[in-house]
């Protein structure tokens, strides 16, 4: 017969759900996380390289904001990441896990590049309309397919959208081969290098808006950010998305056509991600390759989650992540460190920020010392 001891001792520490937390406190916890992660990184850097960590951090800052040019590159990449995250926001708020941003960016990029190559003789305004519309439509279609299957047969959207990425990558390879320039280089090369047709920065000729190549990127993405915020928070569509995200049963009970909203929302999500493809090709690299998306479709998932789908918070998170990326590359080259060191630093900082969410949601209760029992 098995006899079982009854353990009366309380656990040393247990976590309990917080009811609510004042905003400043939550901010403080996050700030602490960043500071602690920087300290730990400093120890790591010193133990491996014996370089003064403060200098390393200074190099990081220089990498991102060291010159006007560098600052604008940082801004450009931030906008790109933000745009994708804004695209993911409606789908994620609906608990539709769109992991297919990579693919949606690529197809948007392909159509943009196609317009730049084949339609460069069109008037500028018409060319841009073609590029923007086609990239949105391509991204939307890439989002529509998994949404349709989800609505109709309840397929798993995570796998479906993920697999659509690989289709998009293959498609991109095909077009890269088709548009190869110069012959044998296995790349498309910079499209329209001489005439700058279809380059977003040169939309108004050589007089760039505010004298900066990327000011239009900023305007487009910031507008989208505001619009998406309003759409999600105040529109009827946004309300429907929030209800479905909470409970599909409640949505059905209230008379919302769940399938319709899923498809509509994924069209929007895909279209914005497709537009990011337009920004990447027309507004940044002026070329197309399989690395045009460059994993940003996945990084944007982190951005969207950390921001809890609030598009304004996404701005800050995007800045942080791009800053880390740029800084890490800089220290890798400046101190001859391996690329992995920079990834490690980024990883540690993100780990702490994500980990701090636990302390925002839960409070720790330590076992009280109880002398009578002992």
Partner 1 sequence: MNNDVAVSMQNITKAFGTKVVANDDVSLDVKKGEILALLGENGSGKTTLMNMLSGIYHPDSGKIFVNSQEAVIRSPKDAYDLGIGMIHQHFKLVDIFTATENIALGMKKDVSGSNKEIAKGIKDICDRYGFDVDPNQKVYNMSVSQKQTLEIVKTLYRGANILILDEPTAVLTPQETEKLFSVLINMKKDGKSIIIITHKLNEVLAISDRVSILRKGKYICTIDTKEATVMSLTEAMVGQKVELNIERNNVKNKEERLIIEHLTCLNKYGTKALDDVTFTAYGGEILGIAGISGSGQKELLESISGLHPAEEGSSVIYVKPETKEKTQLIGKTVKQIRDLGVAMSFVPEDRLGMGLVATMGMADNMMLKSYKDNRFMFTSRRDSRKLAEKKKEELEVVTPSIYTAVKKLSGGNVQKVLVGREISSDPNLFLAAYAVRGLDINTSYTIYNLLNERKENGCAVIYVGEDLDVLLALCDRIIVLCAGKLNGIVDARTATKEEIGMMMTHLNEEGEEDGNS
Quote the least distance from Cβ 235 to partner 1, whole Å: 5
Q: What are phi and psi of 363, to 5 degrees?
A: -115, 150
68 binds partner 1 (CB under 8 A): no
Residue among 185, 254, 291, 338 that touches partner 1 (CB under 8 A):
254
Quote the least distance from Cβ 240 to partner 1, whole Å: 8
The one segment of 8-16, 49-57, 83-91, 246-254 that binds partner 1 by CB under 8 A: 246-254
156 binds partner 1 (CB under 8 A): no
305 binds partner 1 (CB under 8 A): no
**Which residue, 216 or 241, is less far from partner 1 as judged by CB?**
241
Cβ atoms of residues 335 and 103 within 8 Å: no
Cβ atoms of residues 178 and 184 within 8 Å: no
238 Cβ contact partners less than 8 Å away, ≥ 6 residues apart: 90, 231, 232
CA 351 to chain centre: 16
The one segment of 128-136, 155-163, 229-237, 311-319 that binds partner 1 by CB under 8 A: 229-237
Q: Of 294, 293, 317, whose CA–CA distance to 304 is shortest?
A: 317
The site map against partner 1 for 179-218 (x = CB under 8 A) is ----------------------------------------
C-alpha pair distances (Å), 244 with each of 97, 211, 262, 268, 368:
13, 45, 9, 16, 43
246 binds partner 1 (CB under 8 A): yes
The site map against partner 1 for 5-44 (x = CB under 8 A) is xx------------xx------------------------
**Which residue, 2 or 68, is less far from partner 1 as judged by CB?**
2
Cβ atoms of residues 86 and 225 within 8 Å: yes
Count of residues binding partner 1 (CB under 8 A)?
26
The one segment of 78-86, 111-119, 164-172, 250-258 that binds partner 1 by CB under 8 A: 250-258
Q: Of 141, 142, 47, 143, whose CA–CA distance to 92 is shortest?
A: 143
Cα distance between residue 60 and residue 66, in whole Å: 9
249 binds partner 1 (CB under 8 A): yes
13-17/362-366 β-pairing: antiparallel
372 binds partner 1 (CB under 8 A): no
243 binds partner 1 (CB under 8 A): yes
Cβ atoms of residues 98 and 319 within 8 Å: no
Q: Of 94, 114, 34, 56, whose CA–CA distance to 264 is shortest?
A: 94
Residue among 156, 257, 291, 333 that touches partner 1 (CB under 8 A):
257
170 binds partner 1 (CB under 8 A): no
Quote the least distance from Cβ 237 to partner 1, whole Å: 7
The one segment of 205-213, 216-224, 254-262, 329-337 that binds partner 1 by CB under 8 A: 254-262
**Which residue, 246 or 339, is less far from partner 1 as judged by CB?**
246
Cβ atoms of residues 234 and 227 within 8 Å: no
Quote the least distance from Cβ 223 to partner 1, whole Å: 17
226 Cβ contact partners less than 8 Å away, ≥ 6 residues apart: 311
CA end-to-end span of the chain: 30
166 binds partner 1 (CB under 8 A): no
Residue among 9, 236, 368, 371 that touches partner 1 (CB under 8 A):
236
C-alpha pair distances (Å), 85 with each of 90, 99, 167, 275:
10, 11, 21, 12
Residues in contact with partner 1 by the rule CB under 8 A: 1-6, 19-20, 234-237, 239-240, 242-243, 246-247, 249-250, 252-257
């Amino acid at each position: 017969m098995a006899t079982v001891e009854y353990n009366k001792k309380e656990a040393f520490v247990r976590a309990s759900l917080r009811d609510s937390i004042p905003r400043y406190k939550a901010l403080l916890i996050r700030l602490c996380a960043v500071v602690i992660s920087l300290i730990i990184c400093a120890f790591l850097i010193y133990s491996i390289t014996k370089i003064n960590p403060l200098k390393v951090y200074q190099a990081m800052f220089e990498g991102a904001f060291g010159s006007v040019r560098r600052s604008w590159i940082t801004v450009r990449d931030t906008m790109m990441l933000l745009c994708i995250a804004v695209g993911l926001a409606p789908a994620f708020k609906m608990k539709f896990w769109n992991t297919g941003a990579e693919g949606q960016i690529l197809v948007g990029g392909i159509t943009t590049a196609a317009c730049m190559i084949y339609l460069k003789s069109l008037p500028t305004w018409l060319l841009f309309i073609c590029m923007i519309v086609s990239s949105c439509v391509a991204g939307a279609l890439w989002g529509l397919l998994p949404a349709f299957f989800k609505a109709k047969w309840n397929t798993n959207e995570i796998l479906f959208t993920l697999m659509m990425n690989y289709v998009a990558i293959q498609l991109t390879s095909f077009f890269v081969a088709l548009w190869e320039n110069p012959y044998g280089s296995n790349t498309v090369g910079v499209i329209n290098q001489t005439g700058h047709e279809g380059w977003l920065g040169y939309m108004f000729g050589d007089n760039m808006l505010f004298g900066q190549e990327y000011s239009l990127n900023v305007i487009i993405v910031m507008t989208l950010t505001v619009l998406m915020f309003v759409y999600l928070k105040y529109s009827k569509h946004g309300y429907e998305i929030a209800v479905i995200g909470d409970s599909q049963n409640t949505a059905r009970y209230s008379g919302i056509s769940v399938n319709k909203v899923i498809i509509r929302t994924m069209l929007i999500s895909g279209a914005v991600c497709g537009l990011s493809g337009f920004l990447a090709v027309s507004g940044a690299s002026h070329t197309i390759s399989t690395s045009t998306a460059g994993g940003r479709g996945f990084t944007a998932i982190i951005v969207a989650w950390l921001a809890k789908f609030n598009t304004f918070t996404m701005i800050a998170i995007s800045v942080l992540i791009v800053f880390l990326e740029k800084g890490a590359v800089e220290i890798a080259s400046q101190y001859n460190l391996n690329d992995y060191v920079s990834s490690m630093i980024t990883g540690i900082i993100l780990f702490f920020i994500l980990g701090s969410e636990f302390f925002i949601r839960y409070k720790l209760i330590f076992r009280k010392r109880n002398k009578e029992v002992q």
